[in-house]
Structures are given as C-alpha cells and as structure tokens.
Amino acid sequence: KSRAKVVGATDLYYISVRLEQRAKKKDLSYIQAELPLFLHEWMRADEGLRLFLSEFTLENDSEIDKTKEAEPALSKEDLIEKLLEALADYKNRESATYLEQLFHLENDKKLQESLYRMKEKIEMLDFEDAQQLVKEYKRKQEKRWMVK
C-alpha cells in the first residue's frame, strides 16, 4: 500500500486501502469483485515503473560512467556518504553502485549482512528504509573507527 503511494500509483493505493478494509470485515464477495481491478492497476504500476527505470537507467549510464572515471577509489566513509546522497535523491543505479563498492571493502560478516539487507531495500525501491539501514551501518562503522 504505502509503496504504491510513494511511487505515485494512487489508484492502486486506494484500491489496496479498500481491499484491506474489506478483508478485515471478511467481505469476500467485495474482494472477489475488486480483485480484477486491483490486478489491472498492479500491472499498470509495474509497467510504468519498469518503463521509468529503463529510461532513467539509460539516461544516467553515461553520467555514472563519467563519475567512475573521474573519481579515485573512495574510502568507506566517502562511499557511505555518497550512498546516503544517492538514496536521498532516489537514484537506484547509483545507490547500487556505491553499495557494491562498499561490499567489496567490507570484511565483517555481520556488516556484510547489513549490506545485503540494504541491497534488498534498494531493489524494492524502498529508499527510506535503505537510508535507515545505511545510517545504522554508519554508526557501527564509526564505533569501529573510534576503537582503532
């Protein structure tokens, strides 16, 4: 529901709200009647998101390639900040790139698991939750850096 609203699929959001309300009331006949409309809106949202992401990715590929060429290897601290910036700007591909670089630098297995969770959130376009995970990861890193 909330993700539908975040990506602008408002019809899907409102249908989901109504379905949830009717499900709580166990109104099976309403749910069965509304399900085809829900699936139709789901497919529309999916198609729109795929189209958007394909165009967005194509437009930004050259920009990302320029960034890779221009920037020297980044430290963990810098990668974390770049990742947070990319997530704040809802830049899927750029976020994934910084996360991949972070993963290659991370040796701690528990922290690698955190990076995997971030990856899942980014793939699901859940940038807000991904940001929270990055902030937690950053706090853990800062504690490790203070000990050294």
> DSSP for 125-139?
T-HHHHHHHHHHHHH
How far apart CA 138 and CA 78 sit, in angstroms, is: 11
Tell me the average pLDDT across 37-59. Answer: 76
Question: Is the pLDDT at 59 greater than 70, yes or no?
Answer: no
Q: Which amino acid is at 39?
A: L
Which residue shows structure tokens 């699936």? 39
Question: Is the pLDDT at 55 greater than 90, yes or no?
Answer: no
Give pTM, 2 decimals. Answer: 0.53
How far apart CA 40 and CA 29 sit, in angstroms, is: 18
**109-68-48 Cα angle (round to 5):** 85
